[in-house]
Amino acid sequence: METPRTLTLIRPDDWHLHLRDGAAMAAVLPATARQFARAIVMPNLKPPVVTAQQAQAYRDRIVGALPPGSDFTPLMTLYLTDTLPPTEIARAKAAGVVAVKLYPAGATTHSDAGVTDMRRVAPTLEAMQRAGLLLLVHGEVTDPSVDVFDREAVFIERVMQPLRRDFPALKVVFEHITTREAARYVADSDENTAATITAHHLLYNRNAIFMGGLRPHYYCLPVLKREVHRQALIGAATSGSRKFFLGTDSAPHAAALKEASVCGAGCYTAPAALELYAEAFEAAGALDKLEAFASFNGPDFYGLPRNRGSVTLRREPWQLPETVPFGDAQLKPLRGGETLNWRLVT
Ligand code: DOR
Ligand code: ZN
């Protein structure tokens, strides 16, 4: 099949995004607002977003920082801690919060306030199940004896299976899946389990981190895996299954902090997110599957309306800037300085 020159999609959403706060947020927000109609905003600020009131205030700061004329709606989340009271769930629901994020304590950036033992949060999960708030899961165990590359697969057995058994009516999104095991687990589970997949996990395997030297901008969590896993993710994203949808996990960290002896986890993909997904779907010969993945499956799972309006990508080479401003610092987008073959034109 010949590749089309343009691709028009119903406006897509980003179901997993890190916007940060303050000047950093103001710097990265326009890139997402240009591409997406809505985004699920992660609550891992410092300190984390743990009350309905904080979520509302954070939403107001985001809306206040939008460029004039933007048509973008942030969808807010709370950060699940060992002590998030079940009573906060009704307040969160009333405030328009749509989901609660589970970070196993210590799993990733700003996760030290996360959950240390799932038994502690059972009453809160119960309240979420009743209220219809979704649970978004960073699916990695933190057990230091488990190999970093196995942490997602082990999480399925140790946490996901018991969670699904104990809260069958809770809608759960297994976020940014990276393995064949997770793709299979989600494909085989019932209609209350879904997954987001990032563009970088569709495009790269773990070799990218070591190509000619250590490349910090390809380091994220869960870390890139072997090629067989990337292939499984491509298979899932392009399968036509409604359980898989777009979530960039775009996670900005100042370049100076990435290019350091200890490098924070996160790939900044927001400026060319759709272009990167289009590249991955095109390489798989599945451009016709991109619209459902980017624009339909997410809202359908969340029980939200699909967007109106459309965006158009054109097959046209252009150079992604190598750095972009980030408050007082600089940010290096993934693939910055390189030529991309798809370009968002509307
Ligand atoms: O790579 C990541 N970066 N993974 C996460 O889970 C968190 C994120 C961040 O906040 O930087
Ligand atoms: Zn994330």
**Which among 95, 79, 96 has a CA at the least distance from the CA of 38?**
96
Give the number of the atom of ligand 1 that is nearest the alpha carbon of residue 264.
Answer: 11
> Is any atom of ligand 1 closer than 6 Å to the C-beta of 200?
no
The confidence score (pLDDT) of residue 269 equals 98
The confidence score (pLDDT) of residue 322 equals 98
Q: For residue 292, is pLDDT > 60?
A: yes
pLDDT tens per residue, range 190-215: 999 999 999 999 999 999 999 999 99
Q: Average pLDDT of the chain? A: 97
How far, in Å, from the CA of 220 to the mean position of ligand 1? 6
> Is any atom of ligand 1 closer than 6 Å to the C-beta of 28?
no
Q: How much is the average pLDDT of 240-264?
A: 98
The confidence score (pLDDT) of residue 1 equals 56
250 phi and psi angles, rounded to 5 deg: -55, 125
Residues 58 and 21: beta-carbon distance below 8 Å: yes
For residue 112, indicate whether it is catalytic: no
How far, in Å, from the CA of 336 to the mean position of ligand 1? 19
Residues 143 and 194: beta-carbon distance below 8 Å: no
How far, in Å, from the CA of 314 to the mean position of ligand 1? 30
Question: Which ligand gives the minimal distance to the CA of 221?
Answer: 1
> What is the percentage of the chain residues whose pLDDT exceeds 90?
96
* Residue linked to tokens 């969670």: 163
DSSP state of 306: P
Question: Which residues touch 211 (CB under 8 Å, ≥6 apart)?
Answer: none
The confidence score (pLDDT) of residue 323 equals 98
Q: Whose CA is nearest to atom 10 of ligand 1?
A: 109
pLDDT band, very low/low/confident/very high, at 146 (cuts 50, 70, 90): very high
Question: Which ligand gives the minimal distance to the CA of 107?
Answer: 1
Catalytic residue among 188, 249, 300, 328: 249
Domains, in order of start, for the chain: 13-304 (3.20.20.140)
Query: In the chain, count of helices (H) and strands (E)?
Result: 13, 13
Q: For residue 2, is pLDDT > 80?
A: no
The confidence score (pLDDT) of residue 86 equals 98
Which range has the worst mean pLDDT, 1-5, 67-71, 285-289? 1-5
Q: How much is the average pLDDT of 121-140?
A: 98
